[in-house]
Chain A
Amino acid sequence: MNKGWNRIVPYLLIAPSMLLFLVFVLIPVIRIIYLSFTDYTMLQPPVWTGGANYMKLAHDPVFGRAVANTAWYWLGTVLPSMVIGLVLAALLTVRLKGLAAFRALIYLPGVLSSVAVAMTWLWLLDPLKGPVNRVLSLLGIAGKNWLQSPDTSLGSVIVIGVWTGMGFAMIVLLGGIQSIPDSLYEAAALDGASGISQFTRITLPLLQPILLFLFIVSTIRSFQVFDLVYILTGGGPANSSTTIVTQIVGASFQDYRMGYASAMAVVLLAATMAITLLQYKLGSRNTGME
């Protein structure tokens, strides 16, 4: 093959995915950015309103609540699910009978559809018949209506988010741990390093690129949380568990305010990109991911 052909082939190979990216991602994003500057009800053509939607967003207390809830969800799910996933991944590297079954069981919530997860937790947290309250009552603790109380609705969703996220974190980190050469651990053992030492001095540093990847992906997933919230609480009661995406869906498909919803989507996109790039910038200093 000549040199010119060699230059073209890579572009040809990535062309299909780039085309899909263009059609299904980039063009819709540009369209959403345009719509965010309009008043659009889906049934009439959009009317240009400049920055009115953004001005309104800045003073919308419900959107402010949604931003705060999304931030709490991010704080409450990303790090805990990564820490639990890391501990589980470390524990599941030992040779045990039935290890594959353990791994599969822990990973299961990560692959289940969020609808199935939500339905399961609706049953578990049922205030009268649910196992959670029954166990608590055996311990002499009064149960609560976890999903219908403004004090506990968001916390309940966060716990369920951790449960679904830890399996994904575990499987990614398990792959990372297994890719670390055994010779490093053998050499450390010969030098008298303890298990904890080996973990902190070998495993953790070598897992940094994977941890960064996991952190970024989990952040994005937590920012876009919708289906769990929608099924478990509908964002209520009284917006106590509403998130940015539930607000986007409400404004667009329930109130038909597509322009306003697009402005929310643009804010979400900008926030996600900013935080992710910041994480990437800070994390890549130590991981050599540049």
Chain B
Amino acid sequence: MKHRLTAGFMMLTIILALVLGGCGATSSSGAAGKTTDEAGSEKVTLKFWYPNAGEIGTKAIKETIASFEAQHSGISVDLTVVPWDQYFQKLAVAYSGGTQPDVHGLGFGQLISTVDQGKYLNLQPYIDKDKWEGASDFFPDIWKSGQWKGGQYGLLMPDVRPLAWRKDFFKEAGLDPESPPKTVDELFDYANKLKKTENGQTVRSGLDIQTSNGEQSYLSLLLLLGQNFYDDKGDPQFDSDVSIKLVERLVDLYKSGGFMASNQQSANGTPFQNSQAAMAFISASQTASLTASVGGDKIGWSLPPEGTDGSKTSLMLGTFLTAASATKHPEEAWEFIKFWFSKDNILKYTTETGNLPPLQSVKADYLKAHPENEISYEAMKNAQGYPPAKEWSIDVKYLRLALEEAYNGIKAPADALKENAKLARDEIAAAQ
């Protein structure tokens, strides 16, 4: 009996240790705080996290930090770059454990869906105190995107998605390489003509549409049809007739080999970035890396095709810079954010990375380095992103599932969209 008890206890120990070991979340954080330098004065270390910057972006961020530290001898910045697919999990763990970074990047949807939780610092008092001229230099819509209930919780590095196309693939398909599709119908028609299949498998997409985590490429099209996938109250709208017809059309295109299965969050990049797609709604911030990998002369940029009401609406998302409300160094955190968005730094950073600068005063100088991004400024005039709603994450979760079910033939598009919209509404109601 005694042996049985001992063996049983040991077994329990092994099970608990293995199960919990497997469930343990990973988090990495260094302690932010004050250290004493050689001169004896206290030095503040800011923890700074940024999502998926890529090689060019990381280099530019490091240069920004080096410039900042050179001008602020009492502050050092400890950078951590995390891939997008792990970013919010790590951030959530860090916030719940009180080890959150002082300053961090945040996706467009994440800020507006989590700002109500009181985690982020309201930058408005610091902006007012400094009478910061950058506030009036921002493009007004980009400035407003970081606002919530009277507070300014983030400053946006915008990411506009005009239409990009491969001129060499157009030529190969017998299309005019200088003439992108002008209407949504033409876009689908071109996608069919530009697809390339071998042995029944699509080896090149006509249009780059992501089938997993694919809400962004879908939204680029839905915006052209005058809708968003949820309304300003957060209620899902992706089961509307317009959305259903769009997804049915996309599914037909997918079945005919018009695009290949791909994941928006793939670490290997999107098909367009890998020369496996002929057209895409892609961020202008990709200009630098695309030019390096493909060659700038092979890529055309234009406004999206005309929508149903004649407008050419682009998707605009981006990455916010925000600070934690629990930071012990709010002044220094603001100082760093302010430096990041200073004219000199933002011009240098965006020129190196291709990202679109959000300040009006640097537009002309930026375009000297990136004339191809003139179109992004044009696209910005009629751009839309996610409407501000804390229900964003629930809507996105069920929209993703609906799209995956539709693309993979698990459910008819109408059923997938309607059933998941209902699940989203139920979860939103339960959360309230």
Chain A residue nearest to B271 (CB atoms) is: A128
A-B contact count (CB 8 A): 124
Q: Is B81 an interface residue (CB 8 A)?
A: no
Q: Is A137 an interface residue (CB 8 A)?
A: yes
Stretch from A91-99, A164-172, A235-243 that touches the partner: A235-243
Q: Identify A43's interface contact among B19, B22, B117, B212, CB under 8 A.
A: B117
Stretch from B84-92, B172-180, B295-303 that touches the partner: B84-92
- Taken together as a complex, chains A and B put the C-alpha atoms of A224 and B24 apart, in Å, by 11
Q: Is B17 an interface residue (CB 8 A)?
A: yes
Q: Is B192 an interface residue (CB 8 A)?
A: no
Question: Which chain A residues numbered 184 to 243 have a C-beta less than 8 Å away from chain B?
Answer: 216-217, 220-221, 223-226, 234, 236-240
Q: Is B39 an interface residue (CB 8 A)?
A: no
Determine the chain B residues whose CB is within 8 A of the CB of A280 once the complex forms: 7, 11
Q: Is the CB of A148 within 8 A of B88?
A: no
- Taken together as a complex, chains A and B put the C-alpha atoms of A220 and B22 apart, in Å, by 10
- Taken together as a complex, chains A and B put the C-alpha atoms of A122 and B267 apart, in Å, by 10
Q: Considering only CB atoms and an 8 Å cut-off, how many residues of chain B contact the other chain? A: 51
Stretch from A5-13, A24-32, A71-79 that touches the partner: A24-32
Determine the chain A residues whose CB is within 8 A of the CB of B407 once the complex forms: 237
Q: A43-B96, A255-B393, A290-B4 are in contact. Are A217 and B18 (CB under 8 A)?
A: yes
Determine the chain A residues whose CB is within 8 A of the CB of B199 once the complex forms: 137, 142
Q: Considering only CB atoms and an 8 Å cut-off, how many residues of chain A contact the other chain? A: 51
Chain B residue nearest to A289 (CB atoms) is: B7
Q: Is A112 an interface residue (CB 8 A)?
A: no
Determine the chain A residues whose CB is within 8 A of the CB of B117 once the complex forms: 41, 43
Q: A127-B201, A234-B212, A238-B401 are in contact. Are A269 and B260 (CB under 8 A)?
A: no
Determine the chain B residues whose CB is within 8 A of the CB of A249 once the complex forms: 25, 89
Determine the chain B residues whose CB is within 8 A of the CB of A217 once the complex forms: 14, 18
Q: Is B203 an interface residue (CB 8 A)?
A: yes
Chain A residue nearest to B13 (CB atoms) is: A21
- Taken together as a complex, chains A and B put the C-alpha atoms of A278 and B327 apart, in Å, by 50
- Residue interface mask B117-128, A partner, CB < 8 A = 1: 111000000000
Q: Is the CB of B408 within 8 A of A238?
A: yes
- Taken together as a complex, chains A and B put the C-alpha atoms of A256 and B431 apart, in Å, by 11
- Residue interface mask A132-153, B partner, CB < 8 A = 1: 0000010000110100111000
Identify 17 residue pairs between A and B in the complex whose beta-carbon atoms are under 8 Å apart, listed by A's number.
Answer: A24-B20, A28-B20, A42-B95, A43-B118, A122-B268, A127-B201, A128-B260, A217-B18, A223-B19, A226-B23, A253-B89, A256-B92, A268-B19, A276-B11, A277-B11, A290-B3, A290-B7
A residues adjacent to B (C-beta < 8 A) = 21, 24-26, 28-29, 41-43, 122, 127-128, 137, 142-143, 145, 148-150, 216-217, 220-221, 223-226, 234, 236-240, 245, 248-249, 252-256, 265, 268-269, 272-273, 276-277, 280, 289-290
B residues adjacent to A (C-beta < 8 A) = 3-4, 7-8, 11-23, 25, 85, 88-89, 92-93, 95-96, 117-119, 199-201, 203, 211-213, 260-263, 265, 268, 276, 393-394, 397, 401, 404-405, 407-408, 410
- Which 10 interchain pairs have the tightest Cβ spacing? A224-B22, A148-B261, A238-B404, A42-B96, A253-B89, A237-B404, A220-B18, A238-B405, A253-B92, A25-B16
